[in-house]
């Protein structure tokens, strides 16, 4: 009898009582969960003691590894003992929140004016949409409300942020996207570039597509454009050279706010503190979360510049209230932990370490490009993707119904790698503290899983033997 079949096992109780995100519930009821018992560095261990290299830092977030060290735990304990909860409503404040807001403004990649705390990247992007509406109403532009995102973007799962997200699973049967949210071209030359088109020419065409969409809708109706520096959950899509330079010129020409989603890229992921620095972005708002606390406690923030803040402040003053906020936004324990994580980043030069080992990850992933299953490898810093392809020359993906992506995920798991297979792209975003030796071990295991998956494809008749 397996642990899952024992009626009082953790696995059986999980199936009886818990609904899991991003999980096939029918398959979960049949197979049960993997129970993660403990973490150590870049590894986690299941209830049987088997170790796995966590190739996605949990959900792109656990930058310092999976067992929070004593000093972080002590900060959380001390803050719980001193002030276990308080809120920022009604002009209240606490020192951890003040200190963290000050630290974020100081390290922002471009001048920012204020920080508004929330609990997740989804909430940060949802808040940005609300503030954009409030901002344009304050300026007497009630018609300027439409938001543009991109196909394959990921910005969250609330009704509003899931509408920004440009992925079918996040829309289908949820009646999304909501009205007023539009999507423009995904900046991925591998799938969307034309035959013989250079990356720079493709970037020009993306900007032209954006301009055409704005003109078709009416520039006076377009309020903001949302973008991730690197599109994470859409498949680790790195924009082509000159893309953001050309996109930002279009936005500036039409007085369209630029919101940068740094939820994945922020705090060292791309080789700089911010993805904005890696790609030369000049946003009006920045959403950040995940690595702000190394994922140890929920916390997120929306930063806004003075251009956006001033009309919002004045309008809220006329109304008599800024009617937005979350009970746990800026929780004192989360703020204290985030401050300690930021201190560790600085003391240990974690971002510089990530920048130093990032090229090793990219080199090793590129080394998989000759594998018969691999169509493209891509990435920057400590974020990367390996895309499987049925026909490398034609860049033709497998039919999703053939289940090659899920099969690759199972083979990775068997080889001791946890990550996400997004469609047919294997995503990598390991903890920032990973060493070159651990990168080598991880990619060596990935290579074995690729061989396993190739053998499975041939056995299933999906590829010639």
pLDDT at 294: 98
Work out the average pLDDT over 398-415: 96
pLDDT at 3: 55
Q: List pLDDT tens digits, range 338-356.
A: 999 999 999 999 999 999 9
Burial profile 74-101: b = 16 or more Cβ within 10 angstroms, e = fewer: ebbeebeeeeeeebbeeeeebebbeebb
The closest of 286, 294, 291 to 76, measured between CA atoms, is: 294
Q: How far apart are CA 228 and CA 207, in angstroms?
A: 16
313 and 426 both lie in a single domain = no
pLDDT at 4: 61
Residues with Cβ < 8 Å from 12, sequence gap 6 or more? 3, 4, 5, 6, 32
Q: How far apart are CA 372 and CA 388, in angstroms?
A: 9
Q: Give one DSSP letter per residue of 347-408, joined into a string.
A: HHTHHHHHHHHHHHHHHHHHTTTTSTTEEEEEEETTEEEEEE-SBTTTTBPPPGGG-HHHHH
Q: How far apart are CA 321 and CA 309, in angstroms?
A: 14
272 and 412 both lie in a single domain = no
Given a contact cutoff of 8 angstroms between Cβ atoms, the answer to whether 159 and 181 are in contact is no
Rounded mean pLDDT of the chain?
97
Provide the domain count of the chain. 2
Sign of the alpha-carbon torsion through 366, 367, 372, 373: negative
pLDDT at 7: 77
Evaluate whether residue 284 is within a structural domain. Answer: yes
* Burial class of residue 300, CB neighbours in 10 A (0-12, 13-18, 19+): buried
pLDDT at 465: 82
314, 348, 382 - which closes a domain: 348
pLDDT at 1: 47
pTM (whole model) above 0.75: yes
Query: What is the C-alpha end-to-end distance of the chain, expressed in Å?
Result: 37
CATH of the domain at 60: 3.90.1150.10
* Burial class of residue 141, CB neighbours in 10 A (0-12, 13-18, 19+): middle
255 and 298 both lie in a single domain = yes
Work out the average pLDDT over 127-147: 98
302, 322, 348 - which closes a domain: 348
Q: List pLDDT tens digits, range 354-406.
A: 999 999 999 999 999 999 999 999 999 999 999 999 999 899 999 999 999 99
- List, in sequence order, the alpha helices (H) in 9-120: 10-17, 25-31, 57-60, 70-82, 95-107
43 and 89 both lie in a single domain = no
Evaluate whether residue 424 is within a structural domain. Answer: yes
49 and 171 both lie in a single domain = no
Q: How far apart are CA 245 and CA 210, in angstroms?
A: 13
Q: List pLDDT tens digits, range 233-289.
A: 999 999 999 999 999 999 999 999 999 999 999 999 999 999 999 999 999 999 999
The closest of 31, 54, 25 to 41, measured between CA atoms, is: 54
SS3 of 247, please?
helix
Evaluate whether residue 359 is within a structural domain. Answer: yes
Structural domain range at position 154: 71-348
Number of residues that make up the chain? 465
Q: Helices 70-82 and 332-348, interaxial angle, to 10°?
A: 150
Evaluate whether residue 450 is within a structural domain. Answer: yes
Work out the average pLDDT over 227-235: 98
Pull the structure tokens for residue 332: 């004192």
pLDDT at 151: 98
Evaluate whether residue 19 is within a structural domain. Answer: no
367 and 445 both lie in a single domain = yes
CATH of the domain at 198: 3.40.640.10
192 and 85 both lie in a single domain = yes
pLDDT at 6: 72
Evaluate whether residue 3 is within a structural domain. Answer: no
């Amino acid at each position: 009898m397996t642990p899952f079949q024992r009626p009082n096992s953790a696995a059986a109780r999980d199936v009886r009582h818990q609904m899991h995100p991003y999980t096939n519930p029918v398959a979960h009821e049949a197979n049960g969960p993997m129970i993660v018992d403990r973490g150590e560095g870049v590894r986690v261990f299941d209830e049987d003691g088997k170790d796995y290299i966590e190739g996605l830092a949990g959900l792109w977030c656990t930058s310092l590894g999976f067992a929070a060290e004593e000093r972080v735990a002590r900060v959380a304990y001390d803050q719980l003992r001193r002030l276990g909860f308080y809120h920022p409503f009604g002009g209240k404040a606490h020192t951890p929140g003040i200190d963290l807001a000050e630290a974020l403004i100081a390290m922002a990649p471009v001048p920012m004016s204020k920080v508004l705390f929330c609990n997740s990247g989804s909430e940060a992007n949802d808040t940005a949409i609300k503030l954009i509406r409030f901002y344009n109403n304050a300026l007497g532009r009630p018609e300027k409300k439409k938001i543009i995102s991109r196909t394959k973007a990921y910005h969250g799962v609330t009704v509003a942020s899931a509408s920004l997200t440009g992925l079918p699973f996040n829309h289908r049967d949820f009646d999304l996207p909501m009205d007023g949210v539009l999507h423009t071209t995904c900046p991925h030359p591998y799938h969307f570039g034309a035959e013989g088109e250079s990356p720079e020419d493709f970037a020009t065409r993306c900007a032209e597509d954006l301009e055409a969409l704005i003109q078709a809708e009416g520039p006076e109706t377009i309020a903001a454009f949302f973008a991730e520096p690197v599109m994470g959950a859409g498949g680790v899509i790195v924009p082509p050279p000159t893309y953001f330079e050309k996109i930002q010129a279009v936005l500036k020409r039409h007085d369209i706010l630029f919101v940068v989603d740094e939820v994945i890229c922020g705090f060292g992921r791309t080789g700089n503190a911010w993805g904005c620095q890696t790609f030369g972005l000049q946003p009006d708002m920045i959403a950040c979360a995940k690595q702000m606390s190394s994922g140890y406690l929920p916390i997120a923030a929306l930063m806004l510049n003075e251009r956006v803040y001033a009309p919002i402040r004045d309008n809220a003053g006329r109304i008599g209230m800024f009617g937005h906020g979350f009970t746990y936004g800026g929780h004192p324990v989360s703020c204290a932990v985030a401050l300690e994580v930021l201190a560790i980043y600085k003391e240990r030069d974690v971002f510089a370490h990530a920048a130093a080992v990032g090229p090793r990850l990219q080199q090793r992933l590129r080394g998989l490009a000759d594998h018969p299953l691999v169509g493209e490898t891509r990435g920057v810093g400590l974020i990367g993707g390996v895309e499987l392809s049925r026909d490398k020359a034609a860049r033709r993906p497998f039919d999703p119904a053939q289940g090659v992506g899920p099969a690759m995920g199972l083979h990775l798991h068997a080889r001791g790698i946890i990550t996400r297979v997004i469609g047919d792209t294997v995503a990598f975003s390991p903890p920032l503290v990973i060493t070159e030796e651990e990168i080598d071990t991880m990619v060596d295991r990935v290579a074995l899983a690729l061989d396993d998956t190739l053998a499975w494809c041939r056995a299933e008749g999906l590829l010639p033997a």
